[in-house]
Amino acid sequence: MVKVVPRTYLIYSFSPDNKPVEKVYPGEIVIFETVDALGGQVRDESTPLTSIDWSRVNPATGPIYIEGVEPGDTLVIDILDIEVEDRAVIVTIPGAGVLGYRDIKPKVKILPIVKGMLYFDNIKLLPKPMIGVIGVAPPSGSIPTGTSGPHGGNMDVVEITRGSRVYLPVFVKGALLALGDLHVLQADGEICVAAAEVSGKVVTKIDVVKGRKPLLPLVETQTYIHVIGYGEDLDEATRRATEVAVQGLMKEYLLSFEEAYMLASLVVDLRINQAVDPAKGVRASIPKNIISIESLLT
Ligand code: CA
Ligand code: CA
């Protein structure tokens, strides 16, 4: 059965106290309708950023309760499809982004999508729709949807795209999954703090691995398993992702730490997810012919 979560159900923080808006069973298809990261508040290029209600940015649609899913399990989300609207928006915000120390003027730009191509003025770009925010409830407290952590959240990983599979650790009964912040296109780093922000729809299939969980969110693509690290800065995010990758290699091949550390140096790529959100993100990308998902679940 297909269930649809409409975009009227939005959250701005991940929390065990959020009331689920839908109940689903493992194996079910769930469609999330999402609102862009600016809360759909930018209508055109004359919209002043001062008119934006910042309490309504970074909405995630949900949360949904998955039956039979408990703390210590892994929630497995297959991204079957991402449909985006035909108009994206990007902004610059004073003080924000990698070059935030510069005198940056607030600016809004509309990026139309015409015949399957994204236009930045007359520069034609190939869309690669992706999900910026996907996460579950943390064990306690409340984590704004604008940041990331072990529960997922605003990871802004370009690999969370059509055909990929996301593994999240479950901290509360039912997991309380929510997602949003679609990008028509983003490059690694998300340099200016925004991407081609867009509203749309995500078709998912939800499943569970009982009794085991990843230490950090994982994203599986055709050729890689990506370990998603987060941190106060890129160094901390890098260390977190690398720790989990090295532990996975130790388990896969029954290696000592030093041996796995060496192997990681040969096969694991470190890449910046984003350098601009409250928690910075780095992924450790391990080729799938080197590691199995089982070695990354504890
Ligand atoms: Ca984001
Ligand atoms: Ca975004």
Q: Which pLDDT tens digit goes with each residue over 214-224?
A: 999 999 999 99
Q: Same structural domain for residues 173 and 193?
A: yes
Q: Give the tokens for residue 276.
A: 């601009």
What pTM value is reported for the model?
0.97
Distance 154 CA to ligand 1 centre (A): 5
β-bridge pairing 22-24 and 60-66: parallel
State the Cα angle at 281 between 120 and 171, rounded to 5°.
120
CA dist., res. 271 & res. 258, Å (int): 22
Q: Same structural domain for residues 154 and 249?
A: no
Q: Same structural domain for residues 182 and 83?
A: yes
Neighbours of ion ligand 1 (CB under 5 A): 132, 154, 156, 181
What's residue 1's pLDDT? 81
Dihedral (CA of 255, 260, 266, 268) sign:
positive
Compute the average pLDDT of residues 74-98. Answer: 97
CA dist., res. 193 & res. 180, Å (int): 16
**Tally of domains in the chain:** 2
- Model confidence at 203: pLDDT above 90: yes
Encode pLDDT of 223-273 as tens digits: 999 999 999 999 999 999 999 999 999 999 999 999 999 999 999 999 999
Of all ligands present, the nearest one to the C-alpha of 36 is 2
Encode pLDDT of 149-161 as tens digits: 999 999 999 999 9
Q: Same structural domain for residues 235 and 87?
A: no
Of all ligands present, the nearest one to the C-alpha of 184 is 2
Of all ligands present, the nearest one to the C-alpha of 88 is 2
Task: Identify the domain boundary among 157, 184, 214.
Answer: 214
Count the Cβ atoms, other than its own, within 10 Å of residue 117: 11
Q: Same structural domain for residues 210 and 238?
A: no
Provide the residue range defining the domain that includes 223.
219-296
What's residue 34's pLDDT? 98
Q: Give the tokens for residue 96.
A: 């924000």
Q: Same structural domain for residues 133 and 246?
A: no
Encode pLDDT of 93-143 as tens digits: 999 999 999 999 999 999 999 999 999 999 999 999 999 999 999 999 999
Compute the average pLDDT of residues 29-37. Answer: 98
Task: Identify the domain boundary among 192, 214, 236.
Answer: 214
What's residue 49's pLDDT? 87
Distance 59 CA to ligand 2 centre (A): 10
Q: Same structural domain for residues 65 and 166?
A: yes
Distance 272 CA to ligand 2 centre (A): 15
Distance 198 CA to ligand 1 centre (A): 11
Distance 212 CA to ligand 2 centre (A): 31
Neighbours of ion ligand 2 (CB under 5 A): 37, 132, 181, 197
What's residue 291's pLDDT? 98
CA dist., res. 167 & res. 219, Å (int): 6
Q: Same structural domain for residues 71 and 178?
A: yes
Distance 46 CA to ligand 2 centre (A): 20
Compute the average pLDDT of residues 56-74. Answer: 97
